[in-house]
Amino acid sequence: MKYSIVLFLICLLSFQSAYSQEDVNVKPGIDRWSIKTSIGSGDSKDVELSDLLNLPLLDPQYNDRTYATTLIPQVQAGNIKEGDIITTYGYLRLVALEDASSTKEDGDYHIQLTLSDQSTDSCFIVEIPYSQFITDPMLKDSAEGRRAFIRDRLLKGKEPSTSGSVMQSSVYVKVTGQLFYDAIHAAQMRGANPTYRGKKGMHSYTAWELHPVVDIEFARPE
């Protein structure tokens, strides 16, 4: 009996170890990193994905240097602002591991949501940080669990591709995370020749995203 209990505990510890560790070679990010790997409190606000896709750029004064470690106070359409906890629904089209270049090695799971499972453009980006870069225990556990959900339920236990793993069937999800303004990409979206984020032809025309994601689950389209 004692042997069975010990064996069970060993198996349980082995499972927990495998659950919390990923085969990735990454390093912490730089741009507004403390905000990307932390989250505030407050009730979640339901916001339509179509509204998130249309959130406009902020004034250039709200840049990464001025707000490197603090939330941007500017209120956006619908009375939402950076730091709010947002819940939205959409089609999960692509997941990528941010480990593709010298400027993107922070290990985030970069996820692209669209309004339909047929659209090939205009996506909203949500990201799940690598748990080892998070200090808050609850957020760390959340990141581990949600990343495991992505691997186990969508990618057959494998890590996402760095170029982007595209879903081969319709995947509709409910996502909850912190509203975040990517000031670096906002600067790149200005001017006569703007550049946009997004992979596999799905461009993001807003500098807003959900980062960090604290929950993601399958949902049923209405």
Q: What is the pLDDT of residues 99-119, one digit of tens each?
A: 865 556 899 999 999 999 998
State residue 20's pLDDT score: 42
Confidence at 64, pLDDT banded by 50, 70, 90: confident
For residue 64 the two structure tokens come to 């990464």
For residue 170 the two structure tokens come to 């319709």
| CA distance linking residue 100 with residue 97, whole number of Å | 8
Residues 39, 45, 49, 52, CA torsion sign: negative
- What separation in angstroms does the CA of 205 have from each of 50, 54, 103, 123? 12, 8, 21, 8
Q: Which amino acid is present at 17?
A: S
| CA distance linking residue 83 with residue 158, whole number of Å | 31
Please, what is the average pLDDT of the chain? Answer: 88
State residue 213's pLDDT score: 98
Count other Cβ atoms within 10 Å, centred on residue 13: 10
Q: Tell me 48's DSSP state.
A: -
Contacts of 204 (CB under 8 A, 6+ apart): 112, 122, 123, 124, 125, 196, 197, 198
| Domain spans of the chain, in order of start | 25-218
Residue 150 main-chain phi, psi, to 5 deg: -60, -50
| CA distance linking residue 176 with residue 194, whole number of Å | 29
- Kindly tell me if the per-residue pLDDT of 19 is higher than 60: no
- What separation in angstroms does the CA of 127 have from each of 12, 14, 69, 101? 29, 27, 18, 17
Residues 98, 178, 139, 67, CA torsion sign: positive
Q: What is the pLDDT of residues 151-205, one digit of tens each?
A: 999 999 999 999 999 999 999 999 999 999 999 999 999 988 999 999 999 999 9
